[in-house]
Amino acid sequence: MNYLENIFSTLKQASMRPVLQEVRNGELYSVSGSDFLGLCATARNFLQRSGLRKSDRCVLLASNSIYWTAMDLALMAEGIVVVPLYLRQAPAELVGMIKDSEPSLIIYGNKELRDEISKQWSSAPRSALLDEIFQNSSPAESATDIPSPIQLATSDPVAIIYTSGTSGETKGVILTAGNLNHMLKCTTARLDLLMGNHAGPEKVFHYLPCNFAGSWILMLSCLSRDSVLTLSTDLTKLMEEMRLAAPEYFLNVPVLLERVRTGIENKMKEKGGLSLRLFVNAKNAWYRRADHQETLLDLLWLALGRAFLFPLIRRSLGQNLKALICGSAPLSKETQLFFLMLGLPVLQVYGLTETTAICTMDDPRRIEPGRVGPAIDGIEMKVDESGEILVRGPNIFAGYWNKPAATAEVLHDGWFHTGDVGEHDKSGNWIISGRIKNLIILNSGHNIAPEPIEEMISRELPAAKQVVLVGNGRSYMTVIVTGCVTPSEIESVISALNEKMPHYKRIRGFYISPEPFTMDNGLLTANGKLKRDAILKRYKQEVDAIYSQAKA
């Protein structure tokens, strides 16, 4: 039984209970396993009437919803390759990815985006609106006799997920049925360890866009399990939706966990008095314990914190929460320790789209803060002579869509070159210490190639000697500019540039260095390339000051 057959079987067994939920106007709207299979049948009938065949490609450009999930499964059940794209991507970038994937059909979430794409690409393929596909369907299509998915070979592509490279060129990562067969076995096994002998369906909340590989894998994992998955529909009401969902676990990016941690610390400061004193002393004691420097007095503070304070804070985050899962970008060890102090473990996941989202996952029984867990079952990981992490196994992608040269650059003898630097300890737990490539990964999980943006700024600032984007592991980007330029000139260029960029590519601060980067001061290589690590080290104080001012 492959992953898709397993999902359909699980849904049939859950025919009378909720499997998926959406938050609508402050209330939960749910569908049972039978209802959801009916929606999948409706979507499959539409695809068949549209004339799509196995291995055709279909772009799915909409926000998370029950309909999105049903269409995603329907596409795979028909053997059609789903191309999920990010709704908030700049239209020009979307057009580039759509053209590259050569789809037979585009399914949009709203008319406005369809019209915008049509303006930029008058010969765009035929399209349909997601809501209309389901709302215009006959109720008879949602009845009994749900057809099984078509047979898929392990080598059959099921999705093309686009990711950015260091050159700024987006590449479509081809994931196969074999990739998902292996990955979903690994994720469900690890979730079994987390949930133990859980009685009844487990509750899961989901707010990250399913067009991202890790988010997609969690969604499919939940449909493979005895779960009720609640989809967020309004990020501005995230906490309200989370309280309604009352989840036992959910997937996060570091930026949210850091915001939650900051929010808790600010609330304690507002309370003041004995509560603040207990919180500060207990937290400091906890961090000293992690550094193996605790004192006898620390034992007392920790005991008081665990007895009177930490359980209250944890309950405010969710009555049912057993753990948080975090991936897509580096999470600070301090933040992971903070939640562990509250009795809420954060399970880290490391991987790339090319590894079907996952290479390592924390074992819930043996979490080591600051590390991202051991390699998942069935794959090999090693470090080459340059320090780069290489991965081999059934989770490795089939290649980049229509880019054999780019594929050959990262795949050698079955080993995928991740571009990441790391190491593992004796127990097999990995730590990711940096990137060989220049790709900036914000703590929201967005990947940004710095070179194209740096080039655009340099073009508009002819007096600038060099431009370097900064933001790896941060919540937004800033820039270092060298040469005889004024703040007003930089502000004007950044303002104009930001208007053309999606939210995560906007620049929100800058530092001007009169001294240019040269070979003599160690900031340029012999052939004139930027030594990014050396630049960041040299200007660490100045960069930290930019981010500190923004927080203040």
Residue 222 belongs to a domain: yes
CATH number at residue 135: 3.40.50.12780
Report, as an integer, the average pLDDT of 293-302.
Answer: 94
CATH number at residue 457: 3.30.300.30
Shared-domain flag, residues 499 and 529: yes
**Which amino acid would we find at residue 541?**
Q
Using alpha carbons, select from 117, 71, 127 the residue that is nearest to residue 97.
117
Shared-domain flag, residues 423 and 479: no
Task: Give yes or no for a contact between 323 and 367, defined as CB atoms under 8 angstroms apart.
Answer: no
The angle subtended at Cα 499 by Cα 494 and Cα 501, nearest 5°, is 90
Residue 424 belongs to a domain: yes
Residue 148 belongs to a domain: no
Phi, psi for residue 322 in degrees, rounded to 5: -100, -30
Last residue of a domain, one of 219, 236, 252: 252
Shared-domain flag, residues 337 and 264: yes
Shared-domain flag, residues 277 and 419: yes
Residue 147 belongs to a domain: no
Last residue of a domain, one of 435, 468, 502: 435
547-551 long-range Cβ contacts below 8 angstroms, 24+ apart: 547/474, 547/478, 547/509, 549/509, 550/476, 550/508, 550/509
| pLDDT for the residue numbered 526 | 54
For the chain, state the CA radius of gyration: 24
Shared-domain flag, residues 131 and 268: no
Shared-domain flag, residues 203 and 297: no
The rounded distance, in Å, linking the Cα atoms of 493 and 378 is: 50
The rounded distance, in Å, linking the Cα atoms of 243 and 317 is: 8
Residue 146 belongs to a domain: no
Q: Does the structure show a pLDDT above 90 at 362?
A: yes
Shared-domain flag, residues 26 and 120: yes
Q: Name the residue with higher pLDDT: 148 or 127.
A: 127
DSSP string, 245-296: H--SEEEE-HHHHHHHHHHHHHHHHHH-HHHHHHHHHHHHHHHHHHTT---H
Q: Does the structure show a pLDDT above 80 at 139?
A: no
pLDDT in tens, 32-71: 999 999 999 999 999 999 999 999 999 999 999 999 999 9
Shared-domain flag, residues 431 and 445: no
**Which amino acid would we find at residue 252?**
N
pLDDT in tens, 86-108: 988 888 889 999 999 999 999 99
Using alpha carbons, select from 116, 121, 118, 58 the residue that is nearest to residue 89.
116
**Average pLDDT over all residues of the chain:** 91
Residue 159 belongs to a domain: no
**pTM for the whole structure:** 0.85
Shared-domain flag, residues 98 and 218: yes
Shared-domain flag, residues 398 and 503: no
Range of the domain at 74: 3-140+177-252
Last residue of a domain, one of 435, 464, 486: 435
pLDDT in tens, 197-250: 888 899 999 999 999 999 999 999 999 999 999 999 888 888 899 999 999 999
Residue 153 belongs to a domain: no
Shared-domain flag, residues 284 and 378: yes
Burial of 450 (0-12, 13-18, 19+ CB in 10 A): buried
In the chain, % helix, strand, coil (3-state, to 5) comes to 40, 25, 35
Q: How many domains does the chain have?
A: 3
Task: Give yes or no for a contact between 170 and 96, defined as CB atoms under 8 angstroms apart.
Answer: yes
| pLDDT for the residue numbered 53 | 94
Residue 41 belongs to a domain: yes
pLDDT in tens, 480-504: 999 999 999 999 999 999 998 999 9
The rounded distance, in Å, linking the Cα atoms of 119 and 110 is: 15
Task: Count other Cβ atoms within 10 Å, centred on residue 240.
Answer: 13
Residues in the chain: 552
526: helix, coil or strand? coil
Task: Count other Cβ atoms within 10 Å, centred on residue 298.
Answer: 18
| pLDDT for the residue numbered 521 | 86
Shared-domain flag, residues 463 and 385: no
